[in-house]
Amino acid sequence: MTPTPASLAPLAAETLARLARVSTATLCTRLFKAGFRSVFLSGLKPVGTATRMVGPAVTVRYAPAREDLSTFESLGDPAHPQRKTIEEIPAGAVLVLDCRGIESAAGLGDILVARLKARGAAGAVLDGGVRDFAGIAGMGLPVYAKGAAAPANVHRHLAVEANVPIGCADVLVMPGDIMVGDGDGVVCIPRAQAHKIAEGGLEQEELEAFVLGKIQAGAPLRGTYPPSPETVAEFEAWRRGHR
């Protein structure tokens, strides 16, 4: 049985706080080392300047549109999977839409994003277009999409179900997986891995900041990046002295 947000144990606030301080680049490296290679949602760009995002996924799946079902009238149905999910999204969650990679129709528009923000959502991710692009960019809610598209979702999509496993930008996203976004894009962290990845990620961020400082000061790549045991020992000594 696929878990729903309500059936999942809450993730520790400390874990989410740690992940909010780790770059998606570092998260990709940590997940790769843990055996996970398909985690970066390629081709998605932030809409606007609000790019720091972290929260559990709430999913919606689109299927190809059909003229008798994909109508503007259908959007008024209280059970419409997209509208119902937005209306009920928990605070701190990230809406993730499977738009089948279609950029020519909008999975979201400014009114729906405004409702997500009012509900306290952490952001939205979709492998399709958004309409009202400039308006969304100014709302301050992190949104990641393939680009701008004026046609509404019913032009190409039929929302069929929510809180199910989906594919978004060729990445499997399970309900409750942790979505992390920054200026580089979005990473999906399997929920069971979140605590371990968060701990190791912060340590790696500190080490790489130390390495960057050495490179900027003129150190060669060899022995510095990737760090040799001597560089790691130097970092540990530096860290002890700065705590």
Where helices occur in the chain by DSSP H, the ranges are 13-19, 24-33, 81-88, 110-119, 133-137, 194-216, 229-241
- For residues 178 and 208, state if they share a domain: no
pLDDT in tens, 176-197: 999 999 999 999 999 999 999 9
Mean per-residue pLDDT, 37-59:
96
What pLDDT is attached to residue 242?
Answer: 79
Which tokens belong to 63?
A: 């299927």
- For residues 141 and 209, state if they share a domain: no
- For residues 64 and 150, state if they share a domain: yes
What pLDDT is attached to residue 7?
Answer: 61
Residue type, 61: R
Range of the domain at 213: 197-241
- For residues 44 and 147, state if they share a domain: yes
Pairing of strands 53-64, 157-162: antiparallel
* Percent above pLDDT 70 for the chain: 97
- For residues 86 and 114, state if they share a domain: yes
First-to-last CA distance in the chain? 46
Cis amide leading into 226 (omega within 30):
yes
Percent of the chain that is helix, strand, coil (3-state, to 5): 35, 25, 40
**Residue 126: CA count within 13 A, CB half-sphere:** 30
- For residues 130 and 219, state if they share a domain: no
What pLDDT is attached to residue 240?
Answer: 87
- For residues 149 and 237, state if they share a domain: no
What pLDDT is attached to residue 241?
Answer: 82
- For residues 159 and 234, state if they share a domain: no
Nearest-angstrom CA–CA distance, 218 and 54: 35
- For residues 15 and 114, state if they share a domain: yes
pLDDT bracket for residue 9 (50, 70, 90): confident
What pLDDT is attached to residue 237?
Answer: 93
CA 172, chain centre distance (Å): 12
Domains of the chain: total: 2
pLDDT in tens, 61-110: 999 999 999 999 999 999 999 999 999 999 999 999 999 999 999 999 99
Boundary of a domain, candidates 153, 174, 191: 191
- For residues 181 and 124, state if they share a domain: yes
**Bridge partners for 60 per DSSP:** 97, 162
Helix (H, G, I), strand (E, B), or coil: what is residue 94? strand
- For residues 161 and 45, state if they share a domain: yes
Contacts of residue 153, defined as CB under 8 A and 6 or more positions apart, other chains included, come to: 62, 82, 99, 105, 106, 107, 108, 128, 159
- For residues 133 and 173, state if they share a domain: yes
CATH of the domain at 101: 3.50.30.40
Boundary of a domain, candidates 191, 209, 225: 191
